[in-house]
Structure 1
């Protein structure tokens, strides 16, 4: 890439394909790094085709940078998935089950769920389990191991580590502090 491009204030954009990386700005394509690492300067016309394929009748290489290509999960599909999670918090919830509830394949569901919520389905499930555990810890005197089982964790140790990651404290300390605040 010419040095003046690296020092320019013009934003660069990259488009990845299975064979090449195209680095561009508004004026055209500057370099093409081939599959085997060789570098070559390309022509302005190739840049125009890469940036504006509709003008030449070509298809552009798929872009993997910039805005995400995955559309968010439709509202009704998201509602179906969250309803499934809520109804099965205490049970094993698998990605395949969530995808089936939403009527999609696992991979499409996972990508669209993340686009819609900003979280992976598993992270959302863990967050909901911890929120439900907080409700139980605040409103009952159940032992922590029972709370862990009631919200779908197989062991108290796993529950405690996930709880601390999400809530910032262990379940017993959280319960103790919450009860102190409620009593005051």
Structure 2
């Protein structure tokens, strides 16, 4: 039978404290390693290179000259895919750092699990194919307007008179045949008065 004397408990506490101190040093080392981690991914075409920091946030995106003039939506998809690849590499780097620093510690396993959930394996997206463009409908030939019915023989045909260029009788000046008393009066007065 093992007893629980005051000396035994003090030894256990000292051992526990020493183990906790070593564990804290290992996690401090892990924190330093993780803060310095980066991961870089390159696209299959070589047009895109993305580097992510220890949190998986892009710290650098580089496009090669061949990216100029590329379809913007395809280039955006390539950047996102390359970034996810870099984040998956970061997850592997974090797992290696955790195993090298703290081993199979439950807190280390939780860190790895967190990175696995945040940055799952890259799923290769289906290549983008635009929806098919329907063939344009053939042009519809114009329908001729029906010809006006022919007038029976002997009937007058409607003809459009030529357009008039002036109002009729516009140049004709109309004056009264005989002057009246008002004319004499107004002819002697100025309109300014």
Say yes or no: TM over 0.5: no
Q: Which TM-score band applies after superposition, normalised by the shorter structure?
A: under 0.3
Higher helix share: 1
Q: Point out the structure with max Rg over C-alpha.
A: 2
**Which structure is higher in RCO with an 8 Å CA cutoff and minimum separation 6?**
2
TM-score (norm 2): 0.26
